[in-house]
């Protein structure tokens, strides 16, 4: 049995982690906006930056998975 299939399992695990992370960021941002609606602009841009950084990890995994055959 070669380990190539495991790479895709690994990518799946990474994507699950990224999904959980971005979901948490989104949820917490919602909470924060509900608490302080007047700061929604700042919260949104901070949320997008954090989500962008985490999304990078998931795309890393997917892109690397595409290279490893």
Partner 1 sequence: MHSKYIISFIICLLMFTAVFAEKHTDNEATEGKEFQPVDMIMSHITDSNEWHLWTTTDEEGHEHHVSIPLPIIIWDGEFKAFLSSKIAHGHTHRGYTMVDGVLTATDGTDKATIVDLFSGLEGKYVDLSITKNTTAMFISILLLLLIFITMAKSYKKNKLKPRGIAAFLEPIVVFIREEVAIPNIGENKTDKYLPYLLTVFFFIWFNNLLGLLPTFPGGANVTGNIAVTLVLALCTMVIVNLNGNKHYWKEIFTPDVPILMYPIMIPVEIIGIFTKPFALMIRLFANITAGHIIVLSLIGMIFIFKSAFVSVGAIPMTLFVLLLELLVAALQAYIFTVLSALFIGLAVKEHH
Binds partner 1 (CB under 8 A): choice among 4, 9, 20, 49: 49
Measure the CA–CA gap between 29 and 42, rounded to whole angstroms: 10
Other C-beta atoms closer than 10 Å to the C-beta of 3 total 9
- Give yes or no for residue 8 binding partner 1 (CB under 8 A): no
Query: Binding string, 17-36, against partner 1, x = CB under 8 A?
Result: --------------------
The contacts of residue 64 (CB under 8 Å, 6+ apart) are: 11
Task: Give the binding site for partner 1 (CB under 8 A).
Answer: 41, 45, 48-49, 52-53, 55-57, 59-60, 62-63
């Amino acid at each position: 049995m070669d380990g190539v299939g495991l790479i895709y399992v690994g990518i799946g695990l990474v994507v699950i982690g990224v999904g959980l992370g971005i979901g948490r960021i989104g949820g917490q941002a919602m909470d924060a906006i509900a608490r302080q609606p007047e700061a929604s602009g700042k919260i949104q841009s901070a949320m997008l930056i954090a989500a962008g950084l985490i999304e990078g990890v998931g795309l890393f995994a997917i892109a690397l998975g595409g290279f490893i055959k």
